[in-house]
């Protein structure tokens, strides 16, 4: 595709439910990043994939958060037992390689009620 | 730990009034410094990459410069459509991007 695509654009879920957020990167980009952004703040790193493997997951806040990228393209961020504090915009970005600029999607706004 | 701060937090300019935004960073082994623009409700949009001190990049009314401790985004004769949040990020020895909190720029007609 022309750019990074994220679905859904908005997700409202009840506390305790499980959610999946999808990211479709730019074709041919091997590096994929997930970030979380709260209102008025800069993006906060969650996890980075190089190909199919998670090269750095040090930003995941706890074991309720998990991400996969099974074929080295589309990635899914999974959040179990959602809490109200998980409410934020989840951003996905991809880059040609790990040391070049990253291009972001529009984000998924997650609201936990 | 890599860190990025940005100042001012918010800036209001009249159309045509030039100014600069600051990004100060602490990083072990800078691989690149990145500037992004973010409009409300949108993802960050890539503007520039700077790799070494002394490097400069320009695009329309924007010019980014880099020293060993900070980067500046100079805005010359801004227009209302330049209103946005400007984010600075660094990539050090880790492979992720560390972002600052951003500067919210408003350009009044």
Give the domain ranges of chain B: 3-94+102-108
Per CB-CB distance under 8 Å, the chain A contacts of B43 are: 4, 91, 93, 104-107
Please indicate whether, in this complex, the C-beta atoms of B95 and A106 are within 8 angstroms of each other: no
**Residue percentage of chain A with pLDDT more than 90:** 90
- Residue among A42, A98, A101 whose CB faces B99 most closely: A42
Given CB atoms, is B43 within the 8 Å cutoff of chain A?
yes
Which H or E run contains A108?
Answer: strand A108-112
Given CB atoms, is B98 within the 8 Å cutoff of chain A?
yes
Residue B19's alpha-carbon distances to A41, B37, B65, B91, in angstroms, are 22, 16, 13, 26
In chain B, which ranges are continuous DSSP H helix? none
Per CB-CB distance under 8 Å, the chain A contacts of B31 are: 99
Using one digit for the tens of pLDDT, what is the confidence trace for A16-27? 999 999 999 999
Evaluate whether B38 touches B45 at the Cβ level (below 8 Å). Answer: yes
pLDDT mean across residues, chain A: 95
Count of CA atoms in the C-beta half-sphere (13 A) of A100: 10
Q: For chain A, how big is the Rg over CA atoms in Å?
A: 13
CATH hierarchy code of domain B3-94+102-108: 2.60.40.10
Whole-angstrom distance, CA of residue A33 vs CA of residue A23: 10
pLDDT at position A1 over 70: no
Per CB-CB distance under 8 Å, the chain A contacts of B32 are: 99, 101
Class of the domain covering A5-98: mainly beta
Using one digit for the tens of pLDDT, what is the confidence trace for B55-86? 999 999 999 999 999 999 999 999 999 999 99
Contacts of B60 (CB under 8 A, 6+ apart): none
- Among B8, B95, B101, pick the best mutation site for testing chain A contact (most A Cβ within 10 A): B95
Give the domain ranges of chain A: 5-98
């Amino acid at each position: 595709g022309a750019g990074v695509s994220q679905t859904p654009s908005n997700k409202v879920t009840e506390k305790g439910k499980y959610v999946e957020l999808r990211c479709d990167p730019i074709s041919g980009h091997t590096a994929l990043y997930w970030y979380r952004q709260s209102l008025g703040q800069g993006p906060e790193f969650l996890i980075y994939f190089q190909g199919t493997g998670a090269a750095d997951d040090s930003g995941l806040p706890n074991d309720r958060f998990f991400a996969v990228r099974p074929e080295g393209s589309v990635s899914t961020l999974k959040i179990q037992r959602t809490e109200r504090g998980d409410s934020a915009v989840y951003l996905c970005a991809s880059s040609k390689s790990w040391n070049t600029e990253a291009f972001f999607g529009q984000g998924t706004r997650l609201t936990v009620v | 730990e890599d860190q990025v701060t940005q100042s001012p937090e918010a800036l209001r300019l009249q159309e045509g009034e030039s100014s600069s935004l600051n990004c100060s960073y602490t990083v072990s082994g800078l691989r690149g410094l990145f500037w992004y623009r973010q409009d409300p409700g949108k993802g960050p949009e890539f503007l520039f990459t700077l790799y070494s001190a002394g490097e400069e990049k320009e695009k329309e009314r924007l010019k980014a410069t880099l020293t060993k401790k900070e980067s500046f985004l100079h805005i010359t004769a801004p227009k209302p459509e330049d209103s946005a949040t400007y984010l600075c990020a660094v990539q050090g020895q880790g492979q992720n991007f560390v972002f600052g909190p951003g500067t919210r720029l408003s350009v009044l007609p």
